């Protein structure tokens, strides 16, 4: 799983399943491009990503989450709810501002 933290007045945490990196998904009025630098972070284990999610959640971060594994982990961490998940070409995506 790839994770990148963009430091700002409020951290923006970008998390993406590794196998989706470099791809673009599009349907009708929605699209997501994973080929740029935004999601291109450090490769980490699920345990590492979960720990960072929980830590950043307490810091009032914003999360951009893409992929089956990443979204499931975010659900487990309590960052998102199922009703907040959208899909583009079957790929689950969640954005959250805590």
| Per-residue pLDDT, 14 | 97
- Could you tell me the pLDDT band of residue 98, with boundaries at 50, 70 and 90? low
Q: With contact defined as beta carbons under 8 Å apart, do 58 and 90 qualify?
A: no
pLDDT bracket for residue 97 (50, 70, 90): confident
Mean pLDDT of the chain: 94
pLDDT at 58 over 80: yes
Confidence of residue 33 (pLDDT cuts 50, 70, 90): very high
The answer to whether 53 touches 13, Cβ cutoff 8 Å, is yes
- Region 5-19: what's the mean pLDDT? 95
Query: Domain map of the chain by residue range?
Result: 2-97
In three-state form (DSSP H/G/I as H, E/B as E, the rest C), the secondary structure along 6-59 is ECCCCCEEEEECHHHCCCEEEECCEEEECCCCCCCCEECCHHHHHHHHHHHHHC
pLDDT, average across residues 82-97: 94
2-97 CATH, one of 3.30.360.10, 3.50.50.60, 1.20.210.10, 3.30.1860.10: 3.30.1860.10
The predicted model scores a pTM of 0.93
- Mean pLDDT for 48-60 is 92
Give pLDDT, residue 60.
85
């Amino acid at each position: 799983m790839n994770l990148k933290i963009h430091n700002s007045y409020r951290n923006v945490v970008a998390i993406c399943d590794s196998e989706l990196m470099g791809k673009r998904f599009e349907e009708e009025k929605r699209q997501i491009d994973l080929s740029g630098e935004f999601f291109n972070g450090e490769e980490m284990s699920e345990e590492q990503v979960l720990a960072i999610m929980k830590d950043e959640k307490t810091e009032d971060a914003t999360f951009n989450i893409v992929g089956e594994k990443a979204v499931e982990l975010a659900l487990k961490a309590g960052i998102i709810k199922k009703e907040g998940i959208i899909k583009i070409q079957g790929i689950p995506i969640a954005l959250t501002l805590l």
